[in-house]
Structure 1
Amino acid sequence: TEPLSGAESQTLRTFFTSNYMDPNKDLDSYGWMLFTGDLAGVKADFERRKANVPHNVAVNQIFALRWGSTQTPVFNCLLLSTLIQPGGRQKVLDVARWLIAIGVPVDGKDLSGTTAFAHSISTKPAFDIEYAKILLDAGADINHRNRYGSTCAHEFCMVWTPLPDAVARAKTALGFFLSNGGDPNIADNDGITVMRLLRAPWMSGLKEAAEIAERKRKQNGCWFCGSIPSDRHAVELLRCSRCKKARYCSPPKGCQRSDWPNHKQG
């Protein structure tokens, strides 16, 4: 679970290209209930758990579940199901909503440190705005960084060829990312930011959109995590005592401390 960069980062990326959670091989009976959208079975399982342990312990037991060599957690498993068997999508989404309602956190991470939210808008292959919104409303961190130090935007902005469909999907994903407080200036463990990825000639339109959104974010929200006071983000923003312009989430969040290496150079 340690952060990776350079050759170590590439080794894990290569591992993920040839290893995956195989439902037929890796899922146990509970995993199959998730995968098939068996809400009645999932509810019955939870009641059996609560017969032996308190509610919060039963919730944590579900949150801790992982499957396969890539250590796929609950909400990642549900997303994978919607890709493999789209006909059962609504049943799977009902299971996701119910698990959220009982308090199962949505920020479980696989072996790469990637969450279901990040996978849901990665565009490689998933691009599921509906599921992303469900997870975001349940508390998913849009600026979460995986073991490579990457946000979800690093993944969908890695467009190496100017294919219209690929660029269009990246543009839509970037728009969603930016409009929900995503920060394109977060660097991964190799020092690469999303803004740098957008320098490719065929990404110029996306770069302009990111720059506009970044100016708006700095006017209205936290300069580090992008949170804007709203019904979903009950945060208080405090101004930097030095520049009097930058605003950050108040403690205990450490946004100002985390942004200091970048802010002091501005």
Structure 2
Amino acid sequence: MRRDEGVRLFASDAERRADGSGGLKAHPRMFAILDRTSGYIKNDEGGQTLRDLYRAGTVGQDPNMYRRFALDCFSGQTTAVRQAVENGRAPDLTGTETPYKFGYCTLVIAGAQRGAAQCPGADHAATLKYLLNSGAPVDSCDIVGLTALHHATQNTYGPTVALARVLLENGADVNYQNRYGEVPIMAAFQIGDPRMVELLMEFGADLAKPDADGTTGQSMFVNTGPTVTAAVMKWMRKRTGEQLPLDGKSCAKCGKTNGALKICSKCHAVKYCSPECQRAHWREHKQTCTPFNAATSVTVRPSYSDLGMLLPTADVTRQSLGIPAAPHPSSHNRMSHKPHMKPGQPKAMVIKVQVPYTGRAPTMQDGLMLVYDKKRDFVCTLRPGDNREAYMRIAQTVWTKGVGGAKAYFPAELKSRDELVIKVGEVLAEQPF
């Protein structure tokens, strides 16, 4: 929706000069590319050109160019949609609108994403459910094979995540491949919204299904940011029944997720909401509560050399591509610095260790390791020359047990600014930082 105009909801088709296009324009070259192949289209065989033309054709989107029924779907007018269907005035719900061939479920998603939830009387969830119950196909796809679920994963503004759940609960194919061979979760990875990623994983998103160029979700999610990585890995473990310490923010005894949680002072690998829960859980937890010692831990000397700003690679990539990224606290951009500490008061923390990485794989050789905690009140590097044995023990653990062999999370205790104890014997679940 062009934000400078808004939806003229109560104007007639004639007053809005609605021609049914929605302001979308399909370039003839798009159809030439689509017609010359019946399979998935690789980027170098016209796929990238098709993407560019598709995007260019949406620049002039204008919901006022939709005809009445399509506009009511777009703006979430459930009563009007129901009356049109029951009175026989609605078009065939299996049909499409606009040169891009948007189905009516896609129009509901498009409106929610573009601010139409602010229209008077709007209820996009109710409108979507009514359409689906009345026979609108849940997986109707547009000219490049994008279903309503595909569209929902490209922009999670407003109630879009909730609408995606409605689609999935009504049978939307979570692994439907568009003309590029992409399943919906690939777009969710690109925008980096963990809510959408978790939803798609919950309904069985297949990370092994390749697109036309052989790219899989499995190969790309590690590079799409820590919140996405944590969401994916959590669901992958759920599917196999595996568990790791600190897998999600919850009390180890009662499962409470809200409020402050205190970490076990002995192992630093479980959290509790209260001393009562900790005591009640001790009989079970003591079987796995391993302390920091020579067998489980290494001691290293942090280096606070200046590395510049810690901008997340995934966010830099999104900015360069014009994809909106969720804002981060300014502390997340802090460069290496010594933490504030009181003498004799060590800090228990969860740290992230990143080994040297090429962008596709770890280098598996010496180089600076980056270490920091969630709040970034502690950011340092580790050098192989300071304590090579400890360095290699950390590196080997990350290479073999970390995410993509590139990064891993550990319990740690900062004894002083110059003494960090890392419990390499206990790799934690991926954390959202």
Same fold (TM over 0.5): yes
1:179-202 alpha-carbon deviations (Å, 9 max, x no partner): 2211111110110001111242x6
Partner of residue 44 from structure 1, selected from 83, 89, 94? 83
Maintained 8 Å contact 2:189/2:228: no
Partner residue of 2:72 out of 28, 33, 41: 33
Tell me whether 1:86 sits opposite 2:94 in the alignment: no
The one-letter amino acid of 2:145's match is: G
The answer to which structure has the higher helix fraction is: 1
SS at match of 2:225: helix
Aligned to 1:62, what secondary structure does the other structure show? coil
Equivalent residues in 2 for 1:204-215 (5 A)? 206-207=228-229, 209-211=231-233, 213-214=235-236
Q: Give the number of equivalent residue pairs.
A: 200
The partner residue of 2:178 within 118, 127, 146 is: 146
Aligned to 1:253: none
Cα–Cα, structure 1 residues 207 and 91, in superposed 2: closer, same or farther, change >3 Å?
closer
State whether structure 2 residue 96 is matched by structure 1 residue 65: yes
- The answer as to whether partners of 1:158 and 1:197 remain within 8 angstroms in 2 is no
Matches of 1:157 and 1:107, distance apart in 2: 21
**Structure 1 residue aligned with 2:63:** 23
Q: 1:174 to 1:36 in 2, by over 3 A?
A: closer
In structure 2, C-alpha distance between the alignment counterparts of 1:107 and 1:197, rounded to whole Å: 25
**Partner of residue 415, structure 2:** none
RMSD: 2.9
Alignment of structure 1 residues 1-266 onto 2, 5 Å: 2=38, 3-7=40-44, 8-20=46-58, 21-25=61-65, 27-49=66-88, 61-67=92-98, 69-82=99-112, 83-88=114-119, 90-123=122-155, 128-158=160-190, 167=192, 169=193, 171-200=194-223, 203=225, 206-207=228-229, 209-211=231-233, 213-214=235-236, 216-217=238-239
8 Å contact kept, 1:122–1:153? no
Per residue, is there more strand in 1 or in 2? Answer: 2
Query: Partners in 1 of 2:127 and 2:170 — Cα distance?
Result: 14
Cα distance in structure 1, aligned partners of 2:97 and 2:236:
36
Judge conservation of contact 1:195–1:207 (CA < 8 Å) in 2.
no
**1:46-85 residue CA offsets vs partner (Å, 9 max, x unmatched):** 23439xxxxxxx88x2121222x32222111111212232
1:21-60 C-alpha deviation (Å, 9 max, x unpaired): 53223x122212222333333233223439xxxxxxx88x
Structure 1 residue 127: Cα displacement = 7.1
1-side partners of 2:143 and 2:117: how far apart?
Answer: 25
8 Å Cα contact 1:119-1:126 kept in structure 2:
no
Q: Which has the higher contact order (CA 8 A, sep 6+)?
A: 1
2:110 and 2:151 in contact (8 A); partners too: no
Q: Structure 1 CA distance, aligned partners of 2:149 and 2:185?
A: 11
Deviations 1:140-178 (A, max 9, x none): 11111111100111112236xxxxxxx4x2x33222221
Shift of 1:205: 6.2
Q: Greater CA deviation, 33-42 or 107-116?
A: 33-42
Residues 210-233 of structure 1: per-residue CA shift (max 9 Å, x gap): 3553354367xxxxxxxxxxxxxx
Contact map agreement 2:78 2:122 (CA 8 A) in 1: no
Native 8 Å contact 1:181 1:217 kept in 2: no
User: Unaligned stretches of 5+ in structure 1?
Assistant: 51-57, 160-166, 220-266
Q: For the residues of structure 2 that align with 1:40 and 1:173, how far apart are their CA atoms?
A: 28
In structure 2, list runs of 5 or more residues that go unmatched.
Answer: 1-33, 242-433
Structure number, greater radius of gyration: 2
Task: Give the partner amino acid of 2:41.
Answer: L
Q: What secondary structure is seen at the aligned counterpart in 1 of 2:205?
A: coil
For residues 105 and 93 of structure 1, what CA distance do their matches in structure 2 show? 16
Question: What residue in structure 2 maps to residue 234 of structure 1?
Answer: none
Taking a change above 3 Å as real, the CA distance of residues 125 and 38 of structure 1, as seen in their structure-2 partners, is closer
Residue identity opposite 1:79 in structure 2: I
Distance 1:214 1:30, change over 3 A: same
- Looking at structure 2, the residues matched to 131 and 22 of structure 1 have their Cα atoms a distance apart, in angstroms, of 22
DSSP-derived class of the 1:144 partner: coil
Contact 1:121 1:173 in 2 (8 A): yes
Cα 1:40–1:204 change in 2 (3 A) is: closer
